[in-house]
Amino acid sequence: MYKTVRSSILRESLSEILKSVEKGEKFLVTKRGQPVGGIVNLGLFEDILALSSPSFTKSIKKSREEYKKGQYLTLDEVIKDLELG
């Protein structure tokens, strides 16, 4: 879940809000009652960037197609390959 914070309050309380963000809290920032942005911790931000990457979505699509064709390794096969490498 997330908390909503007005941009005017954000300016006044940035330090406290950033401390909360470091602890995992998420914030929706509003301006004149309308959502304008969000504040999340760095880990979540990096995950969002990765998930929105065209190369990532292309890789997922390719993996799903390979799986449907039976072109995949079982967990045991992966472990065996890792042990040999």
Using one digit for the tens of pLDDT, what is the confidence trace for 13-24? Answer: 999 999 999 999
Domain edges within the chain: 1-52, 54-85
Query: For residue 84, what pLDDT is reported?
Result: 76
Query: For residue 85, what pLDDT is reported?
Result: 59
Phi, psi of 48, deg, nearest 5: -60, -45
Domain 1-52 has CATH 3.40.1620.10: yes
Output the six-digit token pair for 33.
Answer: 């009652």
39 C-beta neighbours (distance < 10 Å), count? 19
pTM attached to this predicted model: 0.67
Pairwise pLDDT comparison (85 vs 69), residue with the higher score? 69
Output the six-digit token pair for 6.
Answer: 């007005």
Using one digit for the tens of pLDDT, what is the confidence trace for 8-49? Answer: 999 999 999 999 999 999 999 999 999 999 999 999 999 999
